[in-house]
Every structure is written in C-alpha cells, then in structure tokens.
A and B are shown apart, each in its own frame.
Chain A
C-alpha cells in the first residue's frame, strides 16, 4: 500500500469509525476505505486492538447476581399482594 491509499482517510478520522466498524454499521464503500487504511497502518491496527481489549475487559466487570434464599419468597409475596389487591393502590 502506498501513502496515497492511506491518506484518503487519516488516522484521526479512522479512530472515530471503529465502533461503527465493529457494529457492522459502515456502508460497503466506507468499509472498504476503512479496511484499506487499517490493513496498511500498524498504528491504527494497534488502536483497534486496544479498543477490542477495552471491550473484552469491560465484559469481565459483570458482577454475579446476588440472590439470597429469601428472594423467591419476597417476589411471591409481592405477587400475592398484587393479585389479592387486584392491582396496586396508586399513591
């Protein structure tokens, strides 16, 4: 790839398109321009990998749902109250 190909999209412009790229939201022409730059530019590839790592690690932030033995009982009581009262009394 020569410089002219890479220059049709600057690195500064490319970094703003990575989420569209990852969400498959770029049109075919934009996607082609994006990939032409990306595959010829180690630094933008580094940036894309950094974004992918951020997504990967963010996915590990999810906390296990804490459920105490009492929860199902509470929910059932809530339901019974709702059924018997034929709905909630609106305050």
Chain B
C-alpha cells in the first residue's frame, strides 16, 4: 500500500520494530499495542516514501469531491422525481460464486484500489482489507472519525463503481 516492493516493505517492518523497541517506554496504553504499532508502521512507511520522492497523503480530505455516484444516474433538476434514481442500479448477481473473488474480479478491484488517492487507499486497506474497526483506523492514521468515514465512503463508492463496471462488462459479452 505504501511502498513499492517486498524488500522495501521488509526494511520498513524492521525499522518499525526498532522504533517500537526504542519508544516502548512512551507507550501509554491509551490504544492497543496493535494499533500503536500500526501507527508507527504507517509513519515509517510514509517517511520512507518521502525520502524516495513520492508524495505522501495529507491527513486532510484532499480536494472536495462532488457526489460519489455519477450525477447522470439520477433524475435531473426540474423534472419530476428530481434526485431519484434514473436509470436505476441493477442488482449484482446473487449466485454463491458472485460472493467469492475470482481472478478477474481480484484484478479489477486491485486496480480500482490502486488508483485511489493515497489517503482513501490507506483507509480502505486498513478497514476493509485488513479488518481494523473504524475507531482503530482513525487512531492509526490520526484522523477524526468523521474524516475517516468520508475517506472510507469515497473509496468504497469507487470500488462499488468498479464492481458495477465489472458486471456490466460481463453481461455485455
């Protein structure tokens, strides 16, 4: 998520352990050791990326975005039912296989997450891929819970849109 290869990731992990050992006496038990350690990891990884000349996400929300769903999916202003779905969304397939990632689906989702702005990617990877809870993600990334949810929402909406394109592609062929 933050660094580009495994060797670099390994160095970041080592650096994280060393930083933890050195600052263990400053651990105040206000968070769990796990979230504290992940917070260190994020900072080490970001510092590393900065050193390598990559941009690092700010904790801010970034550019204000319009709605997370294409406005063309809703009735336009001035017509009856303004702001309501039209055309409506098609339900995703409900077969048991549709609940399991296959190779193509994995590639499409990884691509969608890879294209997210870094701040959104950090949040969705920690929460939806790694399974941290909202409060833990806020703490690790130093975000307010409201901002964490905004970033998560934008990220999830883009992943949903990628999923929709995936299924549209499937039904067209």
Contact = CB atoms under 8 A, between A and B. Distances in A.
Nearest to B163: A54
B91 interface: yes
A60 interface: yes
B52 interface: no
Contacts of A15: 67-69, 157
Interface string B11-28: 000100110011000000
Contact of A43 (B89, B149, B159): B89
Nearest to B100: A60
A19 B71 CA distance: 19
Interface string A47-67: 101110111111111100000
Contacts of B141: none
* Interface-central residue, B84, B90, B131, by most chain A CB under 10 Å: B84
Given A11-B85, A12-B74, A51 B131 contact: no
Interface residues of A, number: 38
Nearest to B158: A54
A13 interface: yes
Q: How large is the interface on B (under 10, 10 to 19, 20 to 34, 35 or more residues)?
A: 35 or more
A20 B149 contact: yes
Contact of B105 (A10, A23, A57): A57
B119 interface: no
Interface stretch (B34-42, B56-64, B122-130): B122-130
A10 B74 contact: yes
A54 B156 contact: yes
Contact of A59 (B18, B69, B128, B157): B128
A-B interface, 9 closest residue pairs, ranked by CB to CB distance from nearest: A10-B83, A19-B153, A43-B85, A58-B128, A54-B160, A43-B88, A12-B83, A60-B101, A11-B84
13 contacts: A12-B67, A12-B83, A25-B146, A43-B84, A47-B85, A51-B160, A54-B163, A55-B156, A57-B105, A58-B128, A58-B129, A61-B101, A61-B106
